[in-house]
Amino acid sequence: MLNQLRAVLGLNRHSSYLFGAFLLTCLLIIYIWWPLAVEYWQLIQRYNQAGYPWHALIDWLLLGIFAFMSVTIMAHADLRTDSLIIFVGLCGGLVIESWGTQTALWHYYTAERPPLWIIPAWPIASLSIHRITHTLRHLTAKWPERTFQAIYWPVFGGFYALMVWYVAPTFDKPYTLLSLLLCALLILAPLNKRLALLTFAAGSGLGYFLELWGTTRECWTYYTAETPPVFAVFAHGMAAVAFWQAELLLEKTWGRWQSGISPRFTKSESVENKSK
């Protein structure tokens, strides 16, 4: 049974490394921001003293998200590709959180702009979205390409219109203008419409549960006070597409750099060998 599960999920040594790093990150966050953990524990104690049953004291949504992401990041893990996803997720998450908190589109209950403890959640989510996208590609493998061609512009055009409407109060902020420009470029120049739509769907699907947890627990709050805003849910999908495009760009740049230096290295190496 366990062997079958390992085979289905594609568990390997890299899966153990990623899960260990995931747990270590969680422990470091708890240790570094210990006052937040104490505050949460005190909240649980107050609910317990008020007579709430034990099952009401457990954050089942958080546990469900944690379990789902733990399984997905371990599935078919490969550090050769996952390391790039993690790097882009960290950088991209920092940029997005800086934009949102600096422009007051959303704020955290700690009033940090942005809080560093939320940044590691982005690469973890990116890994999970990557696995979900892989599954969606398998499930939609027989779908005709014209289906994706037909729905691409309505989906991304609709998102962009929603984004313009939602961020309108911050048009005076350079961060917002740059974000709008970047999203427009990503939408207008898709590398693969099928994969872009599947990535958008995967990011939005996971984003809904992340936003539902964060906004209903008042960990972060949007300026519209919605729990969660529709824009925030689909913004996770757009962020996933942006991260995917960034990964492709870095891979291409790295490949060109390698191909550019390899011939010179080989030539110099051969000359050196001849001289010997």
d(CA 101, CA 95): 10
> Could you tell me the two tokens for 31?
């240790």
Mean pLDDT over 56-64 rounds to 86
Per-residue model confidence (pLDDT) at position 269: 41
Residue 234 domain flag: yes
Residue 198 domain flag: yes
The H or E element that residue 106 is part of is strand 106-108
Query: Is residue 108 over pLDDT 80?
Result: yes
Query: Which of 157, 219, 149 is closest to 188 using CA atoms?
Result: 157
Residue 1 domain flag: no
> Could you tell me the two tokens for 258?
């390698």
Per-residue model confidence (pLDDT) at position 260: 57
Residue 30 domain flag: no
- Split into its structural domains, the chain has a count of 1
Query: Is residue 232 over pLDDT 70?
Result: yes
Mean pLDDT over 173-195 rounds to 93
Residue 122 domain flag: yes
Based on C-alpha coordinates, what's the Rg of the chain?
22
Tell me: the pLDDT tens digits for 9-51?
A: 777 888 888 888 888 888 887 777 777 778 778 877 887 788 8
Contacts of 240 by beta carbon, 8 Å cutoff, 6+ apart: 126, 129, 133, 199, 200, 202, 203
If pLDDT is split at 50, 70 and 90, which confidence band does 59 have?
confident
CA dihedral of residues 84, 85, 90, 92 (deg, nearest 10)? 110
Residue 24 domain flag: no
If pLDDT is split at 50, 70 and 90, which confidence band does 170 have?
very high
pTM: 0.85
Among the listed ranges 91-100, 131-140, 266-275, which one has the minimum average pLDDT value?
266-275
Tell me: the pLDDT tens digits for 187-210?
A: 998 779 999 999 999 999 999 999
Residue 12 domain flag: no
Tell me: the pLDDT tens digits for 76-91?
A: 888 888 999 999 999 9
Per-residue model confidence (pLDDT) at position 203: 97
Residue 142 domain flag: yes
Per-residue model confidence (pLDDT) at position 263: 47
**Residue 104, number of CB atoms within 10 A of its CB:** 13
Query: Which of 196, 183, 174 is closest to 231 using CA atoms?
Result: 183
Per-residue model confidence (pLDDT) at position 222: 97
Residue 139 lies in domain: 79-275
